[in-house]
Amino acid sequence: MNIEQLQSTIKAITASGKGILAADESTGTITKRFKSINLESTEESRRAYRDLLFTTVDLEKYVSGIILFEETLKQQALDGTPFPKLLADRGIVPGIKVDKGLIANESAPEEKTTQGLDGLPERLAEYKALGARFAKWRVVYNVTDTFPSRIAIHINAEQLARYAAICQSQGIVPIVEPEVLMDGDHSIEQCAVATEHVLDHVFDSLAKHHVISEYIILKPSMVIAGKDHNKQASIEQVAEETIKILKRKVPAAVPTINFLSGGQSNEAATQHLNTMNQLSNTPWNLSFSYGRALQSSALKTWGGQKENVKAAQQQLLKRAQLNSLATLGKYEENME
């Protein structure tokens, strides 16, 4: 384990006023997003889009790290520079999604688990040689009257811990991402209970696998009602409930919590983060690791057209800047 490498990466990621851009959409996911703008998903169109994101002028002022998909990690920018080098030269830390996606949980078939542990040490060595300094592994939990089940919570926690331990052994900082999904009609209270159980088991498993808390990035969902619930909580209630559960279950040694947006609107994701940073002092850096909540307006503006690149980059930069302000508790709605 290279402690100096882990320390250096954490220091860069947690720079004040900065967060993480999640640009690690799988080929299937990016194909769906391109379909929304009537663009065919090809290796070249995906490369052009990632080039648009990564070459945005001044992005490094607000983004400290970017999570890449394996294809992107191995691609070059339009000027021939490998994407990881392009980012590193701008002071942005390259990261990599290492899980292989969701599959049915054999022990709880109606719930999901994540695949990709087989061969992970070898893949990490390859990714590190290509420039990746941190990694991401996502597990998900549905919320109903009976889900998430105890077995699903246990299996997913073990997976996250095994992955994190392998990452740290190779000097790569792991993003630990337990996502309690917004899908469904559950209340914010149900989400809070599920989130508390999930985090309890995740950190218990991390400890059992000797994962060092100081060298992880926690990427949780916020405590929020299901998107089909008939009573949506206020911005303040979501922020208060989220902080309450985090204070109960997340060790103070964890350096940073970079929230996922999880299907929230651009504005709501920013407002929730801002309010959490205004509420009270916490032992952690509270920031973002957003995908759609940073990219959606840029993607729509671009539309696959070269002449729209600069306008799309301005949309990305605007959302990055607003979320940067939210990490400092200085965002205001009239800035939209």
- Strand 102-105 versus strand 108-114 pairing type: antiparallel
Helix (H, G, I), strand (E, B) or coil at 187: coil
- 219 as an active site residue: the answer is yes
- Strand 134-141 versus strand 63-68 pairing type: unpaired
Please give the angle made by the CA atoms of 31, 35 and 178, to the nearest 5 degrees: 50
List, in order, residues 6 or more apart from 28 with CB less than 8 Å away. Answer: none
Closest CA to 320 of 85, 75, 92, 45: 92
- Residue whose pair of structure tokens reads 């405590």 in the numeric block: 223
Tell me which of 177, 179, 241, 249 is the catalytic residue: 177
Residue 104 phi/psi, 5-degree rounding, is -65, 140
Tell me which of 158, 219, 241, 249 is the catalytic residue: 219
Please give the angle made by the CA atoms of 33, 36 and 41, to the nearest 5 degrees: 55
- Catalytic positions, written as ranges: 177, 219
